[in-house]
Amino acid sequence: MCDTIVALGSVTADGVTLFGKNSDREPNEAHHVVRIPRAQHAPGERVKCTYIEIAQVAETYAVLLAKPFWIWGAEMGANEFGVAIGNEAVFTKIPYAKTPGLIGMDLLRLALERAQTARAALDVITNLLAQYGQGGNCGFKHATYYHNSFLIADPREAWVLETAGPHWAAERVRDIRSISNGLAIGGEWDLASPDLVNYAVQRGWCQGRADFHFARCYADPLYTRFSRCNERQCRTTDALAAQRGKITVETMMRALRDHGDDDEWSPARGVTTFNVCAHASFGPIRASQTTGSMISYLALERQTHFVTGTSAPCTSIFKPVWLDTDVPDTGPAPDGTHDHKTLFWRHERLHRATLHDHATRHALYRAERDALEREFVAGALDCASAPPEARRAYSAQCFARADAAEAEWLERVLQTAPRRPRGRLHQRAWNAFDRDAQMPKHK
């Protein structure tokens, strides 16, 4: 389960398009942020995606990927031309291909490597869908199959692309847009696959174009309902709409950290509750959580990206990176077990200790987190036009300061006893997650 948001320059505070996404995956499915430079490729060369090889293009563009560690593609990313994409799992009536193929995250990376605009990225994805289809397991420890939707943005425009097997519809974004884990395009669209309506008519999902509604015809109602996508999409849409004309990077951060309006909110409550800032718990519906987040400031001249590289944006710090400089060293590539040398797993000690009593322990460092981020954002935007070496140094400084702050917060959290019971089922779930990840003991 994930959420992706965009606000075009017409509704932001400074006229710059803003893009953001939470990547929701299994709790131990470590998130990895990598930069891959532009590359030239020989004629006839092929590229190995997560499962299959396809023909490579002559040149691939530099990309920033925020990805599950084991997958070739990514759940979100951007390229050197300012194209940013996030993908969402969607559940449809079309059978899922379980044989190895291109998965949605592969399609996302391929589009970033091959397209200079959002519209071109849409074409890359739909052309690959027509040629290869989509299919294959997308789960880490638990096999998961689904189709995909995409929110694709660049400094000038944005598109929503929703797929159901080889079928698809696309809609150009007018000002703000949010997508979640359900089809949302209805009876109107800007682009679509040629047989979109006819296929639905042949299966009795509608009588013709007059009563055709893409989401109503193609969506699997049961899985879509239990994903709670409508609630989350409304939350993020409302958060952006309330700040129309005043939307900033901080607005995007607040939207991605949303836990709802309940002042007594706890991640231990409920077996079907799924917030924008998602926290895993007991049961199959809450088997995933936000393992990484990204916000992109898509200025025309140079884009600035803010990544957590760590789980649960409420406990994480967004840090700046650029496409023409290296990502700061975050340690060896993480995997599914704890390794203190990696950024993701170092943060997990703070994240998981906070979960023992989120309300009490999160309050110990939330204000400092916000102040540090405000400083990072202001500094990053101020130096966006500085030489690459200056920005590289600033990015590294932000990562180092965030790491030090989290170490200090962890000590503070561990010294503060939980005041609220964690909940038996919630504790049981996290005991299992911790055991599987070989996490150090924490209280």
Contacts 24+ apart (CB under 8 A), 395-399: 395/319, 395/320, 395/321, 395/322, 395/325, 395/327, 395/328, 396/328, 396/329, 398/319, 398/320, 398/328, 399/319, 399/328, 399/330, 399/343
CB-based contact 34:321 (threshold 8 Å): no
Mean pLDDT (the chain, rounded)? 95
Q: CATH no. for residue 178? A: 3.60.60.10
Q: Which residue has the higher pLDDT, 104 or 227?
A: 104
**Domains identified in the chain, total number:** 1
pLDDT of residue 443: 59
Tell me which of 2, 138, 229, 398 is the catalytic residue.
2
Residue 125: φ, ψ to 5°: -65, -45
Give the residue from 374, 151, 359, 367 showing the smallest Cα distance to 259. 359
Burial annotation 157-170 (CB, 10 A radius, 16+ → b, else e): bbbbbbbbbbbbbb
CB-based contact 296:305 (threshold 8 Å): yes
Does residue 158 form part of some domain? yes
Give the residue from 151, 129, 132 showing the smallest Cα distance to 78. 151
- For the question of residue 314 being annotated catalytic, the response is no
Does residue 399 form part of some domain? no
pTM of the model: 0.97
Reported as type and span, the H/E element at residue 131 is helix 118-132
Which residues span the domain enclosing 37? 3-327
Residue with tokens 């109602």: 221
Q: Count of H helices and E strands in the chain?
A: 12, 18
pLDDT digits (tens, 9 = 90+) for 143-201: 999 999 999 999 999 999 999 999 999 999 999 999 999 999 999 999 999 999 999 99
Does residue 94 form part of some domain? yes
pLDDT digits (tens, 9 = 90+) for 49-64: 999 999 999 999 999 9
- Is residue 1 over pLDDT 80? no
Q: Which residues pair with 57 in a beta bridge?
A: none
pLDDT digits (tens, 9 = 90+) for 348-369: 999 999 999 999 999 999 999 9
pLDDT digits (tens, 9 = 90+) for 254-296: 999 999 877 678 898 877 778 999 999 988 878 999 999 999 9
Does residue 61 form part of some domain? yes
CB-based contact 440:345 (threshold 8 Å): no
Does residue 219 form part of some domain? yes
Does residue 438 form part of some domain? no
3-class state of residue 219 by DSSP? strand
The sign of the dihedral angle between the CA atoms of 124, 129, 131, 135 is positive
Q: How far is CA 204 from the centre of its chain?
A: 35
Q: How far apart are CA 15 and CA 36, in angstroms?
A: 29
Does residue 350 form part of some domain? no
Does residue 341 form part of some domain? no
The sign of the dihedral angle between the CA atoms of 295, 248, 245, 386 is negative
3-class state of residue 436 by DSSP? helix
- What SS3 string covers 282-300? CCCCCCCEEEEEEEEEECC
